[in-house]
Structure 1
Amino acid sequence: MIFRIATRRDLPAVLALLADEDRVLDPASMPVGEEHERAFAEIESDARNEMLVLTDTGTDTDTEAGGGGTVLGCLQLTYVPGLGQGGQERALVEAVRVRADRRGEGLGAELMRLAAERARGRGCGLIQLTSNKRRTAAHRFYERLGFARSHEGFKLPLERR
């Protein structure tokens, strides 16, 4: 398994993972719109954001060549500066997904372990995430990894103008 920063070439596979967590979708069938291109470019150019993928083959150096291997999982790490925690950054984990046909193999745990290692190496004091209340299997997964339900989350959708 290779854990690396996603490249533009990985975008359809990441979108397929995010589109349906219960089925394996063909990345070639995923429409990649201007909004996706813009968002990926912003993540890619922002030193505080990383879209990371776990692939079955390829090498760490394939990033320059446009990636490599089949994307089996993904997550986004955002590094958030703050005055709490002694001024340490915290890592916000979003969009965690593992291909439906590869669950139960420890890939999700490995993905989260590698993300924690990356955040620790950057000097982060903690990792935080939110998970939809309906994703009870994901909640059990995070708890098995040592995450605690320490806060109640709130979201407010904003209308586009």
Structure 2
Amino acid sequence: MLVGMTDLIFRAARRADVPRVIELLNDDAVARSRGVVPEVGAGHWAAFAAIDADPNNELVVAEIGGEVVGTFQLTFIPGLSRNGGERAQIEAVRVAREHRNQGIGRAMMVWSIERARGRGCALVQLTSDKRRGEAHRFYGSLGFAASHEGFKLQLL
């Protein structure tokens, strides 16, 4: 477990955090297999502006001593299913390589779930690339169940 977990804070990402968030998103084998270029481009800035302006989206960073060590995005989705209950979608969960296996990812997920619960969500959901077996085991340890088969259609 992380020594000094009390130093771990969660906050809304700021524009200045975007390069670090992109670095974290690109620091995994799946991203590298797609040939992702870690440079921040116009698309990233536009996406950040849209997320930042949308009350149903939160880009969150985990920070220790002023260093961003993790990130995730929460999207709150209204819907008619589940008696009109809102659902929270957790995406793009990443912990910096040098800070993995210290409890940060678990703390991020617990924080996300509590944020969704506090907002009155009926469900928390996430997706994970099929090649991320270790991540699947991690999500299972938090009580998530593989309940659906997901489909994607690549447009760009």
TM-score by shorter chain over 0.5: yes
Structure 1 segments, 4+ long, off by >4 Å, are none
Alignment partner, residue 16 of structure 2: 9
Aligned length in residues: 141
Q: Alpha-carbon deviation of 1:33?
A: 1.1
Amino acid at match of 2:44: H
What CA RMSD, in Å, does the superposition of the two structures yield over aligned residues? Answer: 1.0
Provide structure 2 residue ranges, at least 5 long, that are not aligned to the other structure. 1-7, 30-37
Which one of 23, 26, 35 corresponds to residue 43 of structure 2?
A: 35
The TM-score with structure 2 as length reference comes to 0.87
The TM-score with structure 1 as length reference comes to 0.85
Q: Alpha-carbon deviation of 1:21?
A: 2.5
Sequence identity percentage: 55
Amino acid at match of 1:130: T
Which one of 53, 58, 78 corresponds to residue 45 of structure 1?
A: 53
Provide structure 1 residue ranges, at least 5 long, that are not aligned to the other structure. 23-29, 58-68
CA contact (8 A) 1:49 1:79 kept: yes
Amino acid at match of 1:43: I
Alpha-carbon distance in structure 2 between the residues aligned to 1:105 and 1:128: 23
Which one of 71, 74, 78 corresponds to residue 77 of structure 1?
A: 74
